[in-house]
A and B are shown apart, each in its own frame.
Chain A
Amino acid sequence: GQQLNQSPQSMFIQEGEDVSMNCTSSSIFNTWLWYKQEPGEGPVLLIALYKAGELTSNGRLTAQFGITRKDSFLNISASIPSDVGIYFCAGRKVTSGSRLTFGEGTQLTVNP
């Protein structure tokens, strides 16, 4: 069953605001991935994290691999309307091979 708790489930924000979402688990992961999916498209990889404590940026996006290896967060600064979409976290465990465990997603709406 689902082992990743992603929150919040949805967010309604004004353009220009900062956004924060996170994923937590009772299991240890050795990789965290963040994807964004827009309607009619497949998930697009935003950021990949491989080490505990790692902090990585991609433009206005910043993600961190939690020190305990059981969580990760994604921040979006100065949101714009094209940030709208569903953001999924995904983790890989050492024992899972190539399997990813996905969070349930965060639906982001940005009001101009």
Chain B
Amino acid sequence: DTEVTQTPKHLVMGMTNKKSLKCEQHMGHRAMYWYKQKAKKPPELMFVYSYEKLSINESVPSRFSPECPNSSLLNLHLHALQPEDSALYLCASSPPGFNQPQHFGDGTRLSIL
């Protein structure tokens, strides 16, 4: 069982909808990440939050909007997505300190109609 919890597990939405993905961890980790993963491919980094501040945005389109309300929660707000945005969205977290490994949740499987 993963200690990084993502909800919902599955999400189907139309291109005009607005929805949010949620990620939660209670391990005291202070860095949290959003990744996008296509089938049988490695995860691709989207955003990194460090101590609740956005530290990396990998040139992600503005239809994806991250939010880190506190050290345990990470959201990804979705609006006006495209069919090519259908993928597994993974959240990860890592402990404080340099060089700590990232621990992943089980992801949200997103389908855009």
Q: Which A residues fall within an 8 A CB radius of B?
A: 30-31, 33, 35, 40-45, 48, 50, 86, 88, 90, 92, 97-100, 102-105, 107
Contacts of B2 in A (CB 8 A): 41-42, 44
Interchain Cβ contacts within 8 Å, total number:
59
Known A43-B104, A99-B56, A100-B45: A105·B40 in contact at CB below 8 Å: yes
Partner of A42, one of B41, B45, B107: B107
* Given the contacts A33-B101, A45-B103, A92-B99, A102 and B42 also touching, CB distance less than 8 Å: yes
In the assembled complex, B74 has its CB within 8 A of some CB on chain A: no
Are A107 and B104 also in contact (CB < 8 A) when A98-B56, A99-B45 are? no
Q: How far is the CB of B104 from the nearest CB of chain A, in Å? A: 4
Q: Is the CB of A44 within 8 A of B45?
A: no
A86 touches B45 (CB 8 A): no
B99 touches A31 (CB 8 A): yes
B90 within 8 A of A: yes
Interface on B for A, CB 8 Å cutoff?
2, 4, 6, 31, 33, 40-43, 45, 48, 50, 55-56, 90, 92, 94, 99, 101-107
CA distance A84 to B31 in the complex (A): 30
Label chain B's interface by main secondary structure. strand
Given A30-B99, A102-B42, A104-B42, does the pair A97, B104 have CB atoms closer than 8 Å?
Answer: no
Asked if A42 and B101 make an inter-chain contact with CB atoms under 8 angstroms apart, the answer reads no
| Known contacts A42-B2, A42-B106, A98-B56: A103-B42 contact under CB 8 Å | yes
Is B41 in contact with A105, judged by CB distance below 8 angstroms? Answer: yes
Do B90 and A42 have beta carbons less than 8 Å apart? yes
Bound-state Cα–Cα, A41 to B88, Å: 10
Q: Point out the residues of chain A lying under 8 angstroms from B40, CB to CB.
A: 86, 105, 107
- Establish whether residues A42 and B105, one from each chain, have CB atoms under 8 Å apart when the complex forms: yes
- Chain B's nearest CB lies how many Å from the CB of A39? 10
Q: Which residue of B lies closest to A103 (CB)?
A: B42
Cα distance, A86 to B42, chains bound together (Å): 10
Q: Which residues of B contact A86 (CB under 8 A)?
A: 40
